[in-house]
Amino acid sequence: MTRAAPDDHPDEPAPDGPAVPATRPVRGALRDWRTFGSRRYRRFRTLAVAQGFIGALSGPAIVLPLLLALGAHPALATLIAVLPVAGTTIQRRIPDLLDRTDGNLRRIVILAATVGEPRGLLLAATVAAAAAGWVPNGVAIGLVAVIMGLQGSIAAVGYGLLQSWYVIILPEDERRLVGPRLAGITLGIGAVVLVPLSLVIDGWVAAIGLYAYAIPLAAAGLAGIAAAALEPGLPSPGRVRVPQRATWHPRQDPHLWRLARVLMLASLAGGLSPFLTVYAISILGTGAGFAIAISAVSSASLVAASVLVSSHLRLGSASRLLRLSMLLRGGALLLGFAALPANPLAPLLLLVIAVLLAAGDTAGQLSANERLFRLATGPSVIAFQSGFVLQNVGSYTAGMLVASGVMLLGGYASFAILFGAAASVRFVAARVTELSPSEAEAEPTPPAG
């Protein structure tokens, strides 16, 4: 099932696509979405809706304000919120699991969803126990860490494998149509859910205390049950075999290695970047409502960007878009210097930064995935993900540990250091991003000497 690059030249990258007029994304977006709205993709869309509720209501948008309300230090709260990322190292064992289950990718994904996606119910129970005084806040923080670290990690791996499932069952053109739009639906649901929640959460907290956080977490848990029930109805990927490469590493393909290098730098920058919600609550002194509003604005921006980006990527360049996404995010992070507490416009600046980062994140994630899918398809994607996961997670974890150490210094200065460091790494990643051959030829040649 592994498909070689065009012309079977493993040293040549798959083409990024022909140049697309600037108006193509706008003109093509509605037509593409109408095609995606057909009955054929109904279950895919429904599953994306459920995942939108899960991500919005049991992710950092809710967990970070909750942990800070429980008394966790901003550095600790940040580490706990991103534990699922570190836990995805278990993805390295996926090829072995496929061997042991006779290539039953379907069973592995459904099991991961059943175990991981309903985590909101356990989180809600933990919050309710803390609110009732049955467990100390410190114990509740520890329980949240365990749930996020274990169930969150399993769910994250399952979600990644689900994307590989889509790659296997959908023809290439359908995959380019469906994949980005499923992500758009998931993000759109997040925006729709978080906007009203941001308006009422402060009132709920004032009225019922910590119980306010149990409400969205319980809703996320119910959505998790729905997601686990929907996945068995997807078309079967059949028996999936990962190419047998005992010492598989991205360096075996120079183009994949160059992509992996950029992604590692992006992961390092992601680890160094402070959460804007944590900055808002701990530095600007805003309430949970504004912090959730930042997440809502970010989600809405992700949706808007995904509509344009997904249409562009059907025929456009993935590598150039990846480079532009790094530059956009680097510039946005530099704006963080101006959001100092003495600036009355600091909250507004955070919203602007959130919009720019979200647009960059969307362009970066979708273009990186598209670039990967053009270089390695089907089971080869799983091989890349399992072989690359340690480097990727290691880079992110290294950045996060550095960021947590810097945050222990406290105050605006610690966040300013992180804004500058993360921006610098983004600019380096943009510099080393490999363009497709046609675009590289179009780049101006520096003068000799």
Is position 27 within any domain? no
Instruction: Give me the DSSP letters along 1-23.
Output: ---PPGGG-TTSPPP------TT
Is position 20 within any domain? no
Boundaries of domain holding 114:
39-242+249-436
Question: Is the pLDDT assigned to residue 30 strictly greater than 90?
Answer: no
Q: Name the domain count of the chain.
A: 1
Is position 21 within any domain? no
Q: What is the pLDDT of residue 386?
A: 57
- Segment 129-136 long-range contacts (CB within 8 Å, at least 24 positions apart): 130/70, 130/210, 131/208, 131/209, 131/210, 131/211, 131/214
User: pLDDT digit string (tens) for 374-383?
Assistant: 555 555 555 5
Cα 256 to its chain centre, rounded Å, is 20
Please name which of 294, 123, 72, 292 lies closest in space to residue 203, comparing C-alpha atoms.
292
Judged by DSSP in three states, 235 sits in coil
Is position 446 within any domain? no
Is position 269 within any domain? yes
Question: Is the pLDDT assigned to residue 253 strictly greater than 80?
Answer: no
Q: What is the mean pLDDT of the chain?
A: 79
C-alpha span between 226 and 239 (Å, rounded): 25
Question: Is the pLDDT assigned to residue 174 strictly greater than 50?
Answer: yes
Is position 9 within any domain? no
Is position 283 within any domain? yes
User: pLDDT digit string (tens) for 316-366?
Assistant: 566 777 888 889 999 999 999 999 999 999 999 999 999 999 888 877 777
pTM of the model: 0.77
Q: What is the mean pLDDT of residues 42-55?
A: 89
Domain containing residue 364: CATH number: 1.20.1250.20
Q: What is the pLDDT of residue 348?
A: 94
Is position 129 within any domain? yes
